[in-house]
Homo-oligomer: A and B are copies of this chain.
Amino acid sequence: MRIRVINPNASEAVTSRIALAASAAARTGTEIEVIRCSSGPSAIQSHYEMVLAGPGLLDAVRDGEQRGCDGYVLASFGDPGLDAAREITRAPVVGIGEAAMHAASYLAGGFIIVTTLPRMRIFAERLAADCGMERHCRSVTVVDCDIRTLAADPAGMLERMALACSEALDTHGADAVVLGSAGMAGLGRDLSQRIGVPVVDGVAVAVKWVEGLADLALATSRRGPFAAPESLR
């Protein structure tokens, strides 16, 4: 099985982290292709950058279709382009945000999301609402750190993340943490050991979800809002 994991930004540090986490999550026999969108912004930390990243992300899906990919992971926490991607492939497409939150809802009574910058809070909040996790998500906390800094020296950031998470877990009565940025990919286990609750890494979970959907031959619906766009038919 070949799963394409798409990082819609151009950052090599972030892409490396995603690659590490996705490969570690994949089972034997799953081939992970991590795509960096070199035409995209170096980070998606605004709505503006999210819009700019869209076309490159969709190119990566269309290219994947040429190569016969069996599924796609969109590795940007706000899950941009998710519905658009679903229109242009029949293979399953899962966003790291929705995957992480649904998984966390199986493991805890309530979770917090830890994200990078204060302005990213609104992305996490809206995503939680869009994927039905408004009640399960008790709060969004920030480490106040650029995604590239984070991705470049994640170990150095761990302590800061642990502090922010521990405080937010206590204040909001939550019992698990969702990593709210692809730049944090791979930090789940270390962070979990420090703070004593499950930490869910969306990159890893989305890989497992796509493996599962593809195993079951569950494809995106051909009917309704995810039918192929007229301009591509």
User: Does A220 lie at the interface of the complex (its beta carbon under 8 Å from any beta carbon of B)?
Assistant: yes
* Cross-chain contact of A173 among B25, B43, B121 (Cβ < 8 A): B121
Q: Which of B57, B88, B105, B176 contacts A98 (CB 8 A)?
A: B105
Instruction: Return the contact of A175 from the options B58, B212, B226 (Cβ within 8 A).
Output: B226
- CB pair B224 A175 closer than 8 Å: yes
A218 and B108 CA atoms in complex are apart in Å by: 11
Q: Mark A171-197, 1 if CB is under 8 A from B, else 0.
A: 001111000000000001100000011
**Which positions in A face B, CB cutoff 8 Å?**
25, 27, 41-43, 45-52, 54-55, 57-58, 81, 83-84, 86-88, 92-94, 98, 102-103, 105-110, 118-119, 121-122, 129, 131-136, 169, 173-176, 188-189, 196-198, 200-201, 204-205, 208-209, 211-213, 215-227, 229-232
Shortest beta-carbon contacts, A-B, top 6:
A132-B132, A208-B212, A175-B224, A46-B229, A109-B225, A51-B54
Is B107 a contact of A219 with CB atoms below 8 Å? yes
Of the candidates B27, B131, B134, B215, the one whose C-beta lies within 8 Å of that of A215 is B27
A134 to chain B, nearest CB (A): 7
Between A51, A226, A230, the greatest number of chain B beta carbons within 10 A of the residue's beta carbon is seen for A51
Closest to A212 in B: B208
A224 to B104, CA, bound (A): 14
